[in-house]
Structure 1
Amino acid sequence: MHAHFFQHVYHLHSHDAYSFGITEAGAQRFSCRGAAHTSGAGMVMAFNPDDPHDGRAAADLGYQYRIVHIGPDVVRELLTDVTDGRAVMPLFAQPALSDPVLRTALLRLHTALVGDAGPLVRDERLTATVTAMVGRGTTRPLRVRELERGGRTRTVARRARALLEEAYAEQIPAERLAEAAGCSRFALYRAFHAEYGMSPSDCQRLLRLRRARALLADGSSAAEAAAAAGFADQSHFHRWFVRCFGVTPGAYRNATPIVTGRSG
């Protein structure tokens, strides 16, 4: 949810999930675990499952915030996978946190969930968020079981990349990519980043951009290139093309015959 409240008052309640409220503007006052707390702009409210709490505005301008709920089963799955199999659920000792890393991870996850992000991006941001929540501000730190260094990491990453190159225009679920790599999706993210310096979704987008660039050079319109390369819409394609190549798709297409020496 993304909301701006002025007079709304939350009655005492709890959730059956981890709940994170990211305060963007104003301030919210709430009671939790027998104490009063305030979350101002830039802070994170972190509620453990079944943490009773209420809430109301702490400023005349109210408060604007985003909230994300993450089920315990999702957290347990990730922890079981990246540890030695004995997952210990994390608990937040304090419900109001000033943690830029956790806040950024939550905002990126929220944006992916409410936007048009593909399944691979959503899964990656969920993994990053759970890792951040366990590694920062909780009472039980995460001890990650790493893949064997060297050959094993390289093999896993290259298997995943081969699938991305073959099916760059498709929406590839994380499970399919992990199956091709021969490991869990959480282990895959670490191995892929170690080998290529980027996430699988970043790599897939780059492969799409390269394909679209080649189509533009062959005379395709921006709309045709975007669709053929697997972009959901032309505006998304345009934005990322400029970010990565510094020119618009149209400018690149118009300049290509001059750069390559071709005519027509």
Structure 2
Amino acid sequence: MKSRGRVQMLRCALDGVEATVAHTTHAFARHSHDCFGIGVVIAGGQRSASGRGPVEARATDVITVNPGEVHDGSPLDERGRAWRMLYFAPSLVTATLAECAHSALREVELTRPVLNDPKLSMCLTRVFSVAVHAIDEDVTPDNLACEEALLGLFAHVGRHYATSAPPGPVPNVSVARARSRIDDDPASASTLAELAAEAGMSRFQLLRSFAHEVGLPPHAYRMQRRVALARHLIARGMPLVDAAVSAGFADQSHMTRAFVRLLGVTPASYAAAVR
């Protein structure tokens, strides 16, 4: 597989937090995360089509993403870009914001995909320095410092960049049925015709409506859910070859290509970071 730089997942001392560092020219396909993401661009620049509109981010900018927000990402030039990123479980974000006296926020939304805020960047760097780099260097983390850094970060985020998420559009019930079928069993080899029958639509109607509602066509959405399932199985200790088959991939190589396309990392790298 041709090298496009490096994306690395690191161990994090904080429960409910994943860490990624990267320096890459890789162009990420449209995808979404189940978590909130907050990161800092270290070098170069990135262009992305986020759920909040097209944006560009350059060195020292902070970048954010909300759970379920479909986005992509490509470098501004051939030099690529480098970043540090933390992904936070939604329950952790909600609970931490509540502790920081932002208790009115229930369904949280980060309001800006790109911003220049030296203090926020400093807060994020602090979390990395005490909760991520220490683990990567086999140094016992200071749990008190980790908790203080996390609260400092979300106290600032809550004051300036978080709001109650507005009610979403009323979901298309037919599309929701097809989506639920994929969510319930992403490893299944369901055809478009079978999904359309579940939704009570023609194949063309489902394809068009699903992409409009979800932000991804059914095949891309199922691939994303398969990667998510494989990640879960790998984190539980399942061997890579077994995780690939259990998640619906043809083989381990197929799973690896999907991981790299969506996450920029191989399953083996992910396993090393979470086990």
Which structure has the larger Rg over C-alpha atoms?
A: 1
From the two aligned structures, give the one with the greater strand fraction.
2
Q: With structure 1 as the length reference, what TM-score do the two structures score?
A: 0.49
